[in-house]
């Protein structure tokens, strides 16, 4: 199928101005934790930067949230895809797993590998074997057909920007053909200096200081990175000075925040779809140029680099109008034809079943560490699965009557 020459147009979720667009793009480019940093990046006053943020929060459902540096908190972030054939099993898994305190986010998906559940789990150090055993139990009991686990070691922002936005009409214009030409141009003039594909080492947590106060702060910064730290103190029965000390000397000094990112819907929510694309490239050069080409386009907001055999790979996350998700897959097929992409899988998420949670600070004990268990949840899943099995095998009244008459 030929890529679109001119592309489709979509109504924007909000009427953006250049200054508001600049604010959003800056929040993808830089790790913004203070309004002063945002104001300096935009070359405006702090009060005006505060006004702009409040305007977006109120009118465009926008916020900037912090992603904790889980490795330094003695947690491992794991992305899992659970493959299921039964819709009933998928539903019961979602019902039970979404109640788990260490499940950061989950949603059902349909994709190139079939249907299933995507979930990002936080697993404390030393509990990785327990987590795998939990998944193996689901597999052995027939609740899931298979699973994959991807450690989230390096999560990086893509500048999801306004290059394809028309400020005069407040619409987004998609042009996949121009993106293809831009990518080819970057590959032709590639100088090897981008290095988007670099992999971060796993961080040692031995010398990192954190406590309950720090976890509580991070929990709230996940909701809004500009949260007033002093306003949280009364809820913990401590002084604003003490909590501010923890914020400066633990959270910021020890870099317990891995990244910050806008929480933003460029398009009308009811017309949009979340997706994850797992893409394997034929070279580092191809991957570098691909990610550079996405810069300032409304296609993806983050990627996770990893190694897949000898191929550099990324797991890309984004939100697109529903039709454009499949146009994007058509774009990836074109890259396969040109030898840029080796292979890919895609997962389109059901946004109406999406569930997300914040850092479970209340599950941390400074003596015992993280309180993490899976047996209770496994028992609930198996109990629910038995009910599903009985309902599927129980004959209907019509069947009973027909059997009796034979």
Q: Would residue 74 count as lying in a domain?
A: yes
Q: Cα dihedral sign for 79, 82, 87, 88? A: negative
At 1 the pLDDT is: 46
Domain termination residue (choose one: 221, 255, 289): 255
Split into its structural domains, the chain has a count of 2
Indicate which CATH number applies to the domain containing 138.
3.30.70.920
Q: Would residue 24 count as lying in a domain?
A: no
Q: Nearest-CA neighbor of 246 among 200, 209, 207, 197? A: 209
At 406 the pLDDT is: 35
At 335 the pLDDT is: 97
What domain range includes position 101?
A: 70-154+354-390
Q: Would residue 325 count as lying in a domain?
A: no
Mean pLDDT by 10 residues, the chain (406 residues): 67 96 95 92 95 94 93 95 92 93 95 94 96 96 94 91 96 94 91 58 62 95 92 91 94 93 93 96 93 96 85 94 94 96 96 92 93 94 84 53 37
**Do the Cβ atoms of 174 and 8 come closer than 8 Å?**
yes
Q: Would residue 341 count as lying in a domain?
A: no
Domain termination residue (choose one: 200, 234, 255): 255
Indicate which CATH number applies to the domain containing 222.
1.10.10
At 198 the pLDDT is: 53
> Rounded to whole angstroms, what are the CA distances from 255 to 69, 210, 214, 272?
7, 11, 11, 34
Residue 249 DSSP code: I
**Do the Cβ atoms of 324 and 271 come closer than 8 Å?**
no
Q: Would residue 16 count as lying in a domain?
A: no
Domain termination residue (choose one: 255, 289, 323): 255
Q: Would residue 403 count as lying in a domain?
A: no
Q: Would residue 162 count as lying in a domain?
A: no
Q: What is the pTM of this model?
A: 0.89
Q: Would residue 377 count as lying in a domain?
A: yes
At 166 the pLDDT is: 96
């Amino acid at each position: 199928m030929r890529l679109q020459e001119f592309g489709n147009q979509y109504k924007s979720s909000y009427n953006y101005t250049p200054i508001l667009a600049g604010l959003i793009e800056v929040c993808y480019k830089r790790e913004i934790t203070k309004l002063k940093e945002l104001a300096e990046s935009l070359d405006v006053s702090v009060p005006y930067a505060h006004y702009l943020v409040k305007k977006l929060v109120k009118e465009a459902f926008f916020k900037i949230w912090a992603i904790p540096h889980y490795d330094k908190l003695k947690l491992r972030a794991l992305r899992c895809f659970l493959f299921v054939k039964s819709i009933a099993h998928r539903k019961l898994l979602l019902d039970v797993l979404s109640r788990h305190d260490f499940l950061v986010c989950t949603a059902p998906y349909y994709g190139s590998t079939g249907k299933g559940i995507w979930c990002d789990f936080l697993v404390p150090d030393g509990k990785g074997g327990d987590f795998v055993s939990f998944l193996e139990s689901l597999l052995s009991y027939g609740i899931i057909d298979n699973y994959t686990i991807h450690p989230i070691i390096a999560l990086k922002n893509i500048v999801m920007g306004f290059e394809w936005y028309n400020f005069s009409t407040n619409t987004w214009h998609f042009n996949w053909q121009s993106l293809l030409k831009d990518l080819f141009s970057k590959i032709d003039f590639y100088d090897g200096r981008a290095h988007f594909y670099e992999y971060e080492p796993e961080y040692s947590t031995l010398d990192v200081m954190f406590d309950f106060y720090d976890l509580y702060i991070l929990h709230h910064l996940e909701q809004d990175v500009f949260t007033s730290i002093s306003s949280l103190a009364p809820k913990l029965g401590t002084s604003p000075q003490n909590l501010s000390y923890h914020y400066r000397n633990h959270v910021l000094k020890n870099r317990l925040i891995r990244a910050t990112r806008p929480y933003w819907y460029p398009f009308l929510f009811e017309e949009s779809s979340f997706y994850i694309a797992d893409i394997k490239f034929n070279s580092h050069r191809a991957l570098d140029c691909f990610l550079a080409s996405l810069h300032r386009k409304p296609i993806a907001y983050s990627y996770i680099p990893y190694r897949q055999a000898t191929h550099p790979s990324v797991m890309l996350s984004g939100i697109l109008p529903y039709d454009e998700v499949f146009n994007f897959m058509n774009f990836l097929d074109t890259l396969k034809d040109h030898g840029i992409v080796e292979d890919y899988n895609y997962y389109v998420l059901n946004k109406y079943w999406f569930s997300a949670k914040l850092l479970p600070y209340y599950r941390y004990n400074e003596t015992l560490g993280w309180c993490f268990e899976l047996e209770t949840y496994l028992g609930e899943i198996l109990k629910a699965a038995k009910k599903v099995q009985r309902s599927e095998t129980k004959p209907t009244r019509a069947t009973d009557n027909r059997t009796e008459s034979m």
